Amino acid sequence: MSIIVADEPRVGPVPPEPAPLKTNYLNARSGILSWLLTVDHKRIGILYLVSLTAFFVVGGLAAGLVRINLLSPTGAIMTEDQYNRMFTAHGVVMLFLFLIPSIPAVFGNFFVPMMIGAKDLAFPKLNLASWYVYMIGAGFMVWSVLAGGIDTGWTLYPPYSSRYSQSNVFPGAFGAFITGFSSIMTGLNIMVTVHKMRCPGMTWGRLPLFIWAMYATSFIQLLGTPVVAITLTLLCVERLAGIGIFDPAIGGDPVLYQHLFWFYSHPAVYIMIVPGMGVISETITCFSRKNIFGYKAVAWSSVGIAVVGFLVWAHHMFVAGISYYSAILFSFLTMLVAVPSAIKVFNWTATLYRGSITFQAPMLFTLAFLVLFTVGGVTGLFLATLGTDIHLHDTYFVVAHFHFVMVGGMVLAYLAALHYWWPKMTGRMYSDFWSRASATIIFVGFFFTFVPQFVLGYHGMPRRYPNYPAEFQVYNVLSTAGASILGFGYLLPGFYLTLSLFFGDKATANPWSATGLEWQTPSPPSTFNFDRTPVVVCGPYEYAIGVDQLGRGLPEPPGPGSADDPASHHGPTGPAGPMHKETHVVG
């Protein structure tokens, strides 16, 4: 096995810690209007963060009620109708209002310009508009919930949703239609920004992998979202005007809806997970002090997922009446799309090899992501395989698989990103102990919640069932017990992150000793991010040499805190310090 060792970048001295700014983006202007009319990408990121957190709480409460109801085989607290509305609220809120915007809208907005050395996104006003569009769409969904809710499930399959449901399908579907435009705006903005606003020296090969992931995500958002928009429009037309599009009783085709819906909604799960993969590439390198293993493989696998992800939608429909040959074709294509994810996992794992690993909260969330995402990924293979899918389809196996990827993967990546960039965003450090405790509790609670659901699914328990045969109760109780641990784990960051805003230690400019451009500004950064346009001289993850993308040495990384931590004895890492760097390795 040969290991590629590239030329070392030239290393400058470690920069002095910059004095905290008197005016940063947070206190440059004040008043509610300064937030509502801001065009600063960082403030818009914070607006998104606050709104998304609120919707995450709402969706989480709905999930909690669903799980409590499942304690009893005949429904513990709700009627069937209430239960149907509750799981639909959970799905719609979590998917359309949390997962799809999540990392692109919060961290993409905040950090894409900073990581490529730009002052802002390409279209700052469009960026603000995207938040308003998102909030208007969310308003429609809140309307539908306040008016009694929707009982169709988040997939809104007609003809039930278009002709039979007595619930508020229109405002919900129309809300999803509107938030889609917000997603398109964000995607367009990020794509143009990455193309046109990279600072000198920031070549495509030097882009942080988070940027690659965001770029791939934007591609999906731009190509896929219009399809779901037209699909939801057609649904509303059939529901409101009775024009036959999907209901065969009036001349439509119900399977057509599923094709259109999944043509967007399968790529949409990549809209959700690919940004998370970008975050993991940032954190795992930083906390293991290593270059990413296989930069090109990780970068291009994101693009590969974005492209191949558009060719697999019908694997949601293997038992839905598609033709024999299309089932066989789509199963094959689905096997292909599993490969880039596997490549990423192996590269991340290999990155840890011979690293110098510390376990602060972002790293714990990252490791939890790796385990849970791997389980989520491989269980997807059961569903991609035709012979097993005809049993497991639409059971709790699918529910568990989806949550492993979307919660175990995406939400943990979101939390990793939040904990990683929190010092930069707020200028404060949070509790080390409680953040690690939270990561551990969430990981454990997650396992207890969703592993029993795999068993339930294998035994055939269908999804969306408030009533179920009594023999399934044990596993449902286990799952609910796990969910309460998980819920507690989610509450913790709400407390210690909020407390950190008021009582946390002031964060240094580069508390994790990371290489990215976003860390080469004070914490929190000024409104225009950089005093002068940065000039990038090397790739994004030169931790081994100890040099940031500006070619300067890195400050001392945070150790595990013990007295025998070599890093705390020997000064800064990198050739500027006393340590010998083993840069030439043949393994």
Partner 1 sequence: MNASLPGIPVSASEVGDLFEPLFWYIVAVTAGGTLLVGALLTVFCVQYRRQNTTGSTPRILGSHRLELFWTITPLMIFLTFYAWGVYIYDRAVQVPNDIPEIFVIGKQWMWKAQYPNGQRVIIGGNPANMSEEDQKHIGALVLPLGKPVKVTFISEDVIHDFGVPAFRQKIDVIPGRYVSTWYHPTKLGEFHVFCDQYCGTWHSLMVGKIHVVPPAEFEQFLEGKGGAHGSENPVDGSPAFKGWQHFQRLQCQKCHVPNAGAGTREHPQAPTLEGLFGRTVPLKGGTSVVADDQYLRESVVNPRAKVVEGWEPIMPGNYRDQVTEEELRDLVAYIKWLKPGQMIPPNDKAPSLNGAPRETKPESGSAGGGK
Q: Which stretch binds partner 1 (CB under 8 A): 95-103, 134-142, 442-450, 460-468?
A: 460-468
Q: Per CB under 8 A, does 77 bind partner 1?
A: no
* CB closer to partner 1, 29 vs 464: 464
Binding to partner 1 by CB under 8 A, coded x per residue (else -) over 6-45, reads: x-x-------------------------------------
Q: Per CB under 8 A, does 482 bind partner 1?
A: no
* CB closer to partner 1, 29 vs 581: 581
Q: Per CB under 8 A, does 479 bind partner 1?
A: no
* CB closer to partner 1, 319 vs 535: 319
* CB closer to partner 1, 200 vs 566: 566
> Which amino acid is located at 66 in the chain?
V
Are 540 and 206 within 8 A, CB to CB? yes
User: What is the smallest separation between the CB atom of 360 and partner 1, expressed in angstroms?
Assistant: 11
Separation of alpha carbons 152 and 477, rounded Å = 25
Q: Which stretch binds partner 1 (CB under 8 A): 37-45, 102-110, 183-191, 555-563?
A: 555-563
> Of these, 248, 488, 506, 535, which contacts partner 1 (CB under 8 A)?
248
Q: Which stretch binds partner 1 (CB under 8 A): 120-128, 190-198, 325-333, 415-423?
A: 325-333
Give me the helix-helix angle, 361-384 and 324-352, nearest 10°.
160
Q: How far apart are the first and last CA of the chain?
A: 7
The encoded tokens of residue 115 equal 């990581």
Q: Per CB under 8 A, does 151 bind partner 1?
A: yes
* CB closer to partner 1, 124 vs 462: 462
User: What is the smallest separation between the CB atom of 182 and partner 1, expressed in angstroms?
Assistant: 27
CA 432 to chain centre: 23
> Which amino acid is located at 32 in the chain?
I
Separation of alpha carbons 8 and 542, rounded Å = 9
Phi-psi region of 93 (alpha: psi -120 to 50; beta: other; left: phi over 0): alpha
* CB closer to partner 1, 24 vs 440: 440
Q: What is the CA radius of gyration of the chain?
A: 24
* CB closer to partner 1, 93 vs 375: 375
Separation of alpha carbons 268 and 263, rounded Å = 9
How many residues interact with partner 1 (rule CB under 8 A)? 124
CB contact set of 278 (below 8 Å; sequence gap of 6+): 103, 208, 209, 210, 211, 212, 213, 214, 302
> Of these, 332, 434, 448, 528, which contacts partner 1 (CB under 8 A)?
332
* CB closer to partner 1, 20 vs 575: 575
The encoded tokens of residue 516 equal 């990215």
Q: Which string of DSSP letters, residue by residue, matches 204-262? A: GGGS-HHHHHHHHHHHHHHHHHHHHHHHHHHHHHHHHH---SS-GGGT--HHHHHHHHH
Q: Which stretch binds partner 1 (CB under 8 A): 97-105, 107-115, 153-161, 194-202?
A: 153-161
Window 419 to 458, contacts with partner 1 (CB under 8 A): 455, 458
* CB closer to partner 1, 82 vs 484: 82
User: What is the smallest separation between the CB atom of 464 and partner 1, expressed in angstroms?
Assistant: 5
Q: Which stretch binds partner 1 (CB under 8 A): 183-191, 330-338, 400-408, 488-496?
A: 330-338
Q: Per CB under 8 A, does 303 bind partner 1?
A: no
> Of these, 49, 345, 483, 509, which contacts partner 1 (CB under 8 A)?
345
Q: Per CB under 8 A, does 67 bind partner 1?
A: no
Are 115 and 208 within 8 A, CB to CB? yes
Window 347 to 406, contacts with partner 1 (CB under 8 A): 347, 349-350, 352-359, 367, 370-371, 374-375, 378-379, 381-382, 384-391, 393-395
User: What is the smallest separation between the CB atom of 125 and partner 1, expressed in angstroms?
Assistant: 41
Q: Per CB under 8 A, does 325 bind partner 1?
A: no
267-279 exposure pattern, b = at least 16 Cβ within 10 A, e = fewer: bbbbbbbbbbbbb
Phi-psi region of 287 (alpha: psi -120 to 50; beta: other; left: phi over 0): alpha
Are 165 and 151 within 8 A, CB to CB? yes
* CB closer to partner 1, 123 vs 332: 332
Q: Which stretch binds partner 1 (CB under 8 A): 177-185, 198-206, 241-249, 515-523?
A: 241-249
Residue 83: C-alpha distances to residues 56, 223, 395, 456, 467 (Å): 19, 34, 17, 19, 10
> Of these, 35, 123, 143, 157, which contacts partner 1 (CB under 8 A)?
157
Q: Per CB under 8 A, does 81 bind partner 1?
A: yes
Q: Which residues pair with 506 in a beta bridge?
A: 428
Q: Per CB under 8 A, does 71 bind partner 1?
A: no
DSSP state letter for 509: S
* CB closer to partner 1, 11 vs 279: 11
Q: What is the sign, positive or negative, of the torsion defined by CA atoms of 151, 156, 159, 163? A: positive
Residue 535: C-alpha distances to residues 163, 197, 201 (Å): 59, 13, 6
Give me the helix-helix angle, 295-308 and 209-241, nearest 10°.
10
User: What is the smallest separation between the CB atom of 361 and partner 1, expressed in angstroms?
Assistant: 15
Binding to partner 1 by CB under 8 A, coded x per residue (else -) over 485-524, reads: ----------------------------------------
